[in-house]
Each structure stands twice: as structure tokens, then as C-alpha cells.
Amino acid sequence: MKVSDLGEFGLIERLEELLAAQGSAAFSEHLVVGIGDDAAVWRVDDRAVVATTDTLVAGVHFLLERTAWRDIGWKALAVNVSDVAAMGATPEFALVTLGLSPDTETSAVEDIYRGLADAGEAYGVVIAGGDIVRSPGLFVTVALCGRADLDASGEPIVLRRNAAVAGDLIAVTGSLGGAAAGLRLLRDGDTGSKATQALLARQCRPVARLAAGTAALDAGIRCAIDISDGLLQDLQHICKASRVGAVAWRDKLPIDPALAELFDANEALAMAATGGEDYELLVTGTREQIDTLAEQIDVAVTIIGEVVIDAGCEAKLLDEKGKEIRLKAKGWDHLKGHG
């Protein structure tokens, strides 16, 4: 069987089982959150280390000819900060691995590092080290460590994927679909209007919702994920981890205004619901918790659906009459593609 048959998420489940079967060393009293959340949580004494890693591969995660080197550096760090934000944690330092072919221009590598440093300044992250290796294709891997506090009983205070409860409302920060539209425009080589520029920025310089993550924790919210693979797919991850279902209402999705301006309604909906790479934060909680979150942060918070009882653990998109809308794909699977 090929990994493309199993898909990214099937493969991750398989590897998790394999590590569990391997026994003692794979698990530890220190490991509070392992494989299957936005970041790992490692408890030590009176605090917790929160750690995550994400990779950008040329030709897969960015188009080498069409993306500024500095943007590649920014994005490589920002997407990791987004994972830490989705835990409600605070990022501290990063390790950077560059896979380079020997004929890469030095100035390109310097620009990647300038972009990493830009994001480091924006999010208070120190580039502490890394590795440079020869590679047939360019890739950038960032591993990011941060911290979370423990509560009085010694449990880390973090946002989890497995904490959604039937009856919770579902909310997202900011707007959706802009990054997917930006990718389309980038592929088409379109750079014209102000709306185009806004969408390209969403694709090339994504913003991690760091303040929203800690504000969500402060508001009493305990369930979140960052929208990297696509709204429905990421909501599905929450459903599986929490053993619940979820419905999202089409007419409530905060579609990126520039996307709505440049694309027709069906395309805009598909991008907002399945496009991925928006790096907005999705949370579940009570109306009061979500209102409190909205008051504390500068970015919009929109209630888009609710958590329901569903043995099948499905995330569904509903129209105004409550009928399910089936889109071609739920989101992005790295090994299957869009599926």
C-alpha cells in the first residue's frame, strides 16, 4: 500500500498506533499532549514546553518562481506560530532547517532568513539554531518551542482539539478563503488590483492569531485548532478528537471581502470552506466565552456553527434550510492532495 492510499491523516494514525505498541519509551508521564494536536505538550516541574514543527517544500507549499524568498521565511515561521497560538501558548525560540541545492544563490538564503527574522520580531520568537543540508529540492523546516502554564492540579492550561462538547458554538477569527484565492492568483500570475494584492498577502504573509489564542484561554475556552488544511477538514479533526459532530452554516461563513469581490459566490464558498492556509483560529465554547473573546481582541470573531451529537463524528456544511452542501473536497491532504 502506498502512503497516498492511506492519506496523511490515516498514516499519522497508523504511526501513532505503532509508537503506542512499541511501549514504554514512546509515552511518558511528562508527555501530556502527543501526536494528533496542534502541538506537543511536555510537562516539567511547574511549567510545560509546547513544541511543534512545520515544513514548506518548494513546488508543494510555495511556487519558487512566484514567491519572494523573504515571504518564504516569514511563512515558515508564521505557520508554526499559528500552531502554538492554537494551543493558547506563547512561542519562545525556533530551530530552522534549510534543505538547499548547492547552486542556490546566497542572497536567496539571506532573504529567507530576513523573512524568518521579520516573523521572529512580530511574534517574539528567537531563531536559536538549526541545520543546513544539501537537498535535491528546497525546503524549510521550522521547529518551534514555547511555554504554557500549569493549573493548580498540575495540568497544562492549553487549547485542545479534544475539548469540544455538544452544544458548544463554533467561532472563527478574521475571514476565510483569502489564502486559497491568493494561491490561485499567484498561479495565474495576476498582480493587478488592490483586492488581488490583499489576497496575495493572505497567501504569502499569513498572520498567526497569537493574541487570539491566549485571549481564548483567558475567556475560558478550551478547544481550538488553527485553520491550515481548510475549515471543514480542520473542524473534522476537532470532531474526531472530541467524539462529536459539527455543523457550519453557509450563510455565516466570514468570506474574505477581497475574495467575494473577485470570484463568483460558489468559488468563494468553496475556498472559504475548504481552501486552507488562512491560519485563522477556530474555537468552540459557550456564547458568553466567545463574546468575551471577541471583546478582548482586535480581529473579528464570527459564530459559524455548533457542535452536535454525532456518532459518525462528521463536520458538515449546511445551507439556509439545514440541508447538507457537499463540496468536492473537505480540505487538503498532503499525500492524497485535495480530497
Residues 4-63 binding a second copy (CB under 8 A) are 4-6, 8, 11-12, 14-15, 18-19, 22-28, 30-31, 34-35, 37, 39-40, 42, 44-45, 47, 49, 51-55, 57, 59-61
Q: In angstroms, rounded to a whole number, what is the distance separating the alpha carbons of residues 22 and 45?
A: 27
- Residue whose grid cell is 457537499: 326
Closest CA to 107 of 62, 73, 59: 73
Cα angle 116, 8, 236 (rounded to 5 degrees) comes to 95
Spatial neighbors of 128 by CB under 8 A, at least 6 apart, are 93, 94, 95
Using DSSP's 3-state secondary structure scheme, residue 148 falls into strand
Residue 162 binds to a second copy (criterion: CB under 8 A): no
Residue 150 binds to a second copy (criterion: CB under 8 A): no
User: In this chain, which stretch among 87-95, 191-199, 267-275, 292-300 interacts with a second copy, using CB under 8 A?
Assistant: 87-95
Residue 69 binds to a second copy (criterion: CB under 8 A): no
In angstroms and rounded to an integer, the radius of gyration of the C-alpha atoms of the chain is: 19
Closest separation between CB of residue 79 and a second copy, Å?
A: 10
Of 105 and 288, which CB lies nearer to a second copy in the complex structure? 105
202 φ/ψ angles, rounded to the nearest 5 degrees? -65, -35
Cα angle 209, 324, 7 (rounded to 5 degrees) comes to 60
Residue 95 binds to a second copy (criterion: CB under 8 A): yes
Of 255-314, which residues contact a second copy (CB under 8 A)?
none
Of 219-248, which residues contact a second copy (CB under 8 A)?
none
Of 175 and 228, which CB lies nearer to a second copy in the complex structure? 228
Question: How many positions of this chain bind a second copy (CB under 8 A)?
Answer: 83
Closest separation between CB of residue 129 and a second copy, Å?
A: 4
Of 96-125, which residues contact a second copy (CB under 8 A)?
97, 99-100, 102-107, 109-110, 113-114, 117, 120-121, 124-125
Q: How far apart are the first and last CA of the chain?
A: 18
Closest separation between CB of residue 33 and a second copy, Å?
A: 8
Q: In angstroms, rounded to a whole number, what is the distance separating the alpha carbons of residues 47 and 32?
A: 12
Residue 154 binds to a second copy (criterion: CB under 8 A): no
